[in-house]
Amino acid sequence: MEERKLTIIGGGPAGCSAAIYAVRSNVETLLITEDFGGQLMLTDHISNYLGFKKESGFSISEKFEEHVKDYDIEIMMEKAEQVEKKDGQFLIRTTGEDILSETIIIAVGTKAKKLDAKGEKEFLNNGVGYCALCDGPLYRDKDVAVIGGGYSGTEAAIYLSNIANKVYLINAGDELTGEPITVDKIPEQDNIEVINKALTKEFFGEEMLKGLRYEERETGEIKEINVDGAMIEIGREPRSEIINFVDKTDEGKIKSDNYCRTSVEGFYAAGDVSTIEEEQAIVAASDGCKAALQAVRYLKENNKND
Ligand SMILES: Cc1cc2nc3c(=O)[nH]c(=O)nc-3n(C[C@H](O)[C@H](O)[C@H](O)COP(=O)(O)OP(=O)(O)OC[C@H]3O[C@@H](n4cnc5c(N)ncnc54)[C@H](O)[C@@H]3O)c2cc1C
């Protein structure tokens, strides 16, 4: 089996940053990832990452990839399916070859939460989706719904309002809770209708989605709207299911301290999958730096980087 000193899993801001810091510390570095950029590829544009006044998520992801590839970092474009402890090291089972690594930085981020409403699975990719940016162009001049009134829901509604005929923003809470600068833009868009205190219960249609039913939270009344598309944007959950030997929170975040150390020596967690306070790209990148420098120190102190 292939053996490595340091393996980073995840090519988002945390993983890319970790890879650059690790290789610049003269540690042979393997990066296993399914893509470059991670969640940044799901966003229309980034305006709060230092040095980028307004950059598309796709473009910033390309720059991350270019930066990583500028170094002698070994890259495996595979999915890590399971990570296990083995003889004082870590065994990573991937869709390609398996790897035994002395230390690991896990930076696998988060994935979209499911709503678990009736018809959600049935109409997935036939009107129901979890990525407004990816699916938005399918709904040019059509009517769509965004489910979720937080950060991603409000951003998705603004994005879709420039493509679709009409956007229903369906929010379970009393009011929208996204980034204030985004929430403030919602009333300026004539074609966005906000429906607060509404619990989405069911998606319906024939082959393709035709609409959805929601329950008015206060009255219990069921209402129906006709839409061609519905984007579920109700938050995200950690992609930590591939690791079972480390302490996690109830929601699955990997418990980590300010140095990105976890409950297991030699195993570091960086970015959104860890218990960092803010799920932001710049915070994840900073975490990647900290995790890499800690892992390098660990390898040196344990004479594992000879
Ligand atoms: C719609 C949206 C808009 C956003 N807007 C902003 C914004 O404007 N500004 C901002 O700062 N932040 C924004 N964020 C948040 C930001 O994108 C995240 O905080 C950041 O990307 C987290 O970085 P990460 O590296 O921890 O994880 P991720 O970006 O999630 O990257 C995880 C990486 O791990 C890989 N991966 C996952 N599982 C595996 C596996 N099993 N095997 C191999 N590879 C795997 C993925 O392919 C990906 O490359 C937004 C997020 C969303 C969803």
In this structure, the answer to whether residues 51 and 141 fall within a common structural domain is no
DSSP secondary structure string for all residues of 117-146: -BTTTTTBTTTEES-HHHHGGGGTTSEEEE
What band does 9 get if pLDDT is binned at 50, 70 and 90?
A: very high
**Amino acid in the structure at residue 22:** A
**Would you say residue 133 has pLDDT above 90?**
no
Mean residue pLDDT across the chain: 95
Euclidean distance between CA atoms 103 and 270, whole angstroms: 13
In this structure, the answer to whether residues 270 and 241 fall within a common structural domain is yes
**Would you say residue 304 has pLDDT above 80?**
no
pLDDT at 306: 56
In a domain, 56, yes or no: yes
Question: Is the torsion defined by CA of 237, 242, 248, 250 positive or negative?
Answer: positive
Residues having CB closer than 6 A to ligand 1 are 9-15, 32-35, 38-40, 42-43, 46, 48-49, 79-80, 107-110, 152, 155, 239, 242, 271-272, 279-282, 284
In this structure, the answer to whether residues 247 and 294 fall within a common structural domain is yes
Question: Is the torsion defined by CA of 91, 65, 136, 184 positive or negative?
Answer: positive
In a domain, 102, yes or no: yes
Euclidean distance between CA atoms 102 and 88, whole angstroms: 8
In this structure, the answer to whether residues 6 and 104 fall within a common structural domain is yes
- Domain with residue 14: its CATH number is 3.50.50.60
In this structure, the answer to whether residues 137 and 42 fall within a common structural domain is no
pLDDT at 1: 81
In this structure, the answer to whether residues 98 and 148 fall within a common structural domain is no
Taking only the tens place, the pLDDT of each residue in 61-95 is: 999 999 999 999 999 999 999 999 998 999 999 99
Task: Give the Å distance between the CA of 11 and the centre of ligand 1.
Answer: 8
CA of residue 202 relative to chain centroid, distance: 25
Q: Which of 232, 257, 283 is the last residue of a domain?
A: 232
In this structure, the answer to whether residues 16 and 82 fall within a common structural domain is yes
In this structure, the answer to whether residues 52 and 196 fall within a common structural domain is no
Taking only the tens place, the pLDDT of each residue in 234-281 is: 989 999 999 999 999 999 999 999 999 999 999 999 999 999 888 899
Instruction: Please report the atom of ligand 1 found closest to the CA of residue 278.
Output: 19
Q: Which of 203, 232, 261 is the last residue of a domain?
A: 232
Task: Give the Å distance between the CA of 55 and the centre of ligand 1.
Answer: 16
Euclidean distance between CA atoms 65 and 33, whole angstroms: 11
Q: Please list the active-site residues.
A: 131, 134-135
Euclidean distance between CA atoms 33 and 94, whole angstroms: 10
**Beta strands, E only, 148-297:** 166-170, 192-195, 198-205, 209-216, 222-226, 229-232, 236-238, 267-269
Which residue's CA lies nearest to atom 48 of ligand 1? 38
**For residue 266, what are its two tokens?**
């030699």
> In which domain, by residue range, is 203 found?
128-232
In a domain, 121, yes or no: no
In a domain, 181, yes or no: yes
